[in-house]
Amino acid sequence: MKVAKLVECSLMTRVVVDKNATEDEIIAASREGFIEAIRTSLGDNVEDIYEDEECPYNIFLDKWKKIVYNSKN
């Protein structure tokens, strides 16, 4: 039996940017650091795992999404 879970994680990465960098520039500079953290140490950054009570797993919806996805490819 499958169930829906919510996984909460917290990521942090260091970037070096110009003193006057905009928020968008800082976010763009952090992208590779976050991708690397997700690839290599996501488990170390998981804060908690919760039951998804707002949107529980629906086997029929899951199968429908797979059919729609596969029909597009």
Dist CA 24 CA 30 (whole Å)? 10
Tokens representing 13 are 């990465």
3-state SS of 36-72?
HHHHHHHHHHEEEEEECCCCCCCHHHHHHHHHHHHHH
The CA dihedral of 58, 59, 60, 62, to the nearest 10 degrees, is 90
Q: What is the pLDDT of residues 24-67, one digit of tens each?
A: 999 999 999 999 999 999 999 999 999 998 887 876 666 666 66
pLDDT band at 71 (very low <50, low <70, confident <90, very high): low
Please give the model's pTM, rounded to 2 decimal places. Answer: 0.61
